[in-house]
Amino acid sequence: MHSAVRWPNPWSPAATCGPLRRLKYSRNTSVKISKRLPGVLQDLPWTSVAKSLNGERAKPADGDDHLALARDSLRELVYDERIPPEVRSALAEDYDQVQAMLDKLEQGHIHIAAFGRVSVGKSATLNALLGAQRFSTSPLHGETKAAQMGQWDEYDAGGIFLIDTPGLNEVAGEAREALAHEVASRSDLVLFICDGDLTESEIRALRVLSQHHRPIVLVFNKIDRYTKDERQALTGSIIRHTAGFVDPRNVVAISAMPAERLVILVDEHGNETETLRQPKPDIGALKERLWTLLEAEGKTLAALNASMFATNLSDQVGRRILKVKRVLGAKLVRSYCIAKGVAVAFNPIPVADLIAAAAIDAGMVVHLSRLYGLPLSRSEAGDLVKTIATQLALLMGTVWTVNLISAAMKLGTGGLSTVLTGTAQGAVAYYSTYVVGQAAEEFLAHGKSWGERGPKQVIRDILDSIDRDSILAQARADIAGRLRSV
């Protein structure tokens, strides 16, 4: 029995499963999954128009391996005790979708979404596949208001679900268009339906969809309105317009709801009666293409979709965690800036100033490295500080000159100028530690690497991005506040 339901969020737990299960997760495995994906993509027939789909059945072990890989990545992504509560809370909806996708994989379901402009026949095409009127085909513009789903029992014992979406060119329908993109990006296969030569907006939409690495079957509907020559010309034009991102074998022509025809009925007495009759749908080419795709790579379709989503969410989690670490790192750096500024302001011995400064900066880097989960030894931290200090000396020599002049004033007066110069020198020390902290965070955030830019350019970018005067003003305020509390 076919079923059709309103489906505002097809991947919500309410639609597919119970409460979110707490499962163990390993970031390393997620990274391993993402590294293996490019290889999987290269082997799939729909990722390159140069690779043909010959309809041969994929080896069962291949599909099973892909499914197992996807299930592992999803299970491990659902729960990670190291993820801060605020990050998990911010990504709660995404985690719910991961759980729903996991259940979808466990049940062996495939989701096929219909996509296209208003009134091109998306609903009619799905109804023709289902063999029943499950989706609205009202002539009213934009009748489909939200995603709807129906179960296709004709293939694979009902494990295939067909999804109808609102039209691309819906009036005042930005939210509906966003929903259509969301459904298509989360589905395993996309039916892009048109009713003639492609418009610029349709071509743009197809290019965007092709970036999701989903197989796209381009369905040329309403062919009953054209002559044979017109159909051939339009099909050729569609193939040319989509060259490079839609396999020409995936361009099929159908008539999901042929126009009514006038039929003359003759009864047993020879009386003639005119009546209108609806011809049967002509969707044989579409069915054959779908069966070929599903038989060849059905399991891998779902596995690829789930693995890519898991990888994307893993990246989101990483960015959120990095953001949290940045906030904590900023607090840590400020505390060291104040400590260094006060130590330098109080210390009347210039050589001790320099020793204390280096020790404080190295301690800060060690602390930051632990925060980022990339612990450095005291020696390694010292080397990093030296690298940063060398670039600072080249890029902001005037600041270091001020520091040295202040130290010289202390030396020349036996430390009596400390009251006059200590706070100013402390502010400069505060500023230098702030820059060292920012540079160290960049180094750690990129996995203990300066990247292609190198340390000099990274530090130059940091210096260009910060307001030195405001930092120095904050330094003086922080140091004065600490001195008052002593």
Q: Which amino acid is at 73?
A: S
**Which tokens sit at 2?**
């076919």
Residue at token pair 């989706």: 135
Q: Which residues of 141-168 are buried (b: 16+ CB within 10 A; e: fewer)?
A: ebbbebbbbbbbbebeeebbbbbbbbbb
**Alpha-carbon span 426 to 193, nearest angstrom:** 68
Do 164 and 123 form a contact (C-beta atoms < 8 A)? yes
pLDDT of residue 154: 61
Burial of residue 441, with CB atoms counted within 10 A of its CB: 0-12 exposed, 13-18 middle, 19 or more buried: buried
**Alpha-carbon span 134 to 152, nearest angstrom:** 11
**Alpha-carbon span 422 to 42, nearest angstrom:** 64
Pairing of strands 160-164, 110-116: parallel
pLDDT of residue 28: 34
Burial of residue 380, with CB atoms counted within 10 A of its CB: 0-12 exposed, 13-18 middle, 19 or more buried: middle
**Alpha-carbon span 98 to 429, nearest angstrom:** 48
Tens place of pLDDT per residue across the chain (486 aa): 443 333 344 444 334 333 323 223 333 333 333 333 333 333 333 333 333 333 443 444 455 565 566 566 666 666 566 666 766 676 677 777 677 767 776 677 788 889 888 889 998 999 999 888 887 655 444 454 445 566 666 655 457 888 888 787 764 556 655 666 676 677 888 999 999 999 998 898 888 888 877 889 999 999 999 999 999 999 999 999 999 999 999 999 999 999 888 878 888 888 888 888 888 999 999 999 998 888 777 666 666 666 666 676 677 777 777 887 888 889 999 999 888 888 877 765 554 555 566 788 899 999 999 888 888 999 999 899 889 888 877 776 655 555 544 544 444 444 444 444 566 777 878 888 898 999 999 999 888 999 888 988 988 888 888 887 788 888 888 887 877 776
**Alpha-carbon span 30 to 36, nearest angstrom:** 10
pLDDT of residue 19: 30
Question: In sequence order, which residues have a C-beta less than 8 Å from that of residue 316 and are 6 or more positions away?
Answer: 91, 94
**Alpha-carbon span 111 to 274, nearest angstrom:** 43
The number of helices, as runs of H, and strands, as runs of E, in the chain is: 16, 9
Do 267 and 273 form a contact (C-beta atoms < 8 A)? yes
φ/ψ of residue 247, rounded to 5: -65, 130
Quick one: which H or E segment has residue 309? Answer: helix 284-346
Q: State whether residue 416 is helix, strand or coil.
A: coil
pLDDT of residue 158: 52
Burial of residue 353, with CB atoms counted within 10 A of its CB: 0-12 exposed, 13-18 middle, 19 or more buried: buried
**Beta bridge partner(s), residue 160:** 110, 152
pLDDT of residue 298: 65
Q: Which amino acid is at 254?
A: I
CB atoms within 10 A of CB 284: 10
**Alpha-carbon span 146 to 166, nearest angstrom:** 6
Quick one: which H or E segment has residue 350? Answer: helix 350-371
Set out the domains of the chain in order of their start, with CATH numbers.
Answer: 4-316 (3.40.50.300), 347-485 (no CATH)
pLDDT of residue 49: 34
Do 226 and 234 form a contact (C-beta atoms < 8 A)? yes
CA dihedral in degrees (336, 337, 342, 347; nearest 10)? 90
pLDDT of residue 14: 39
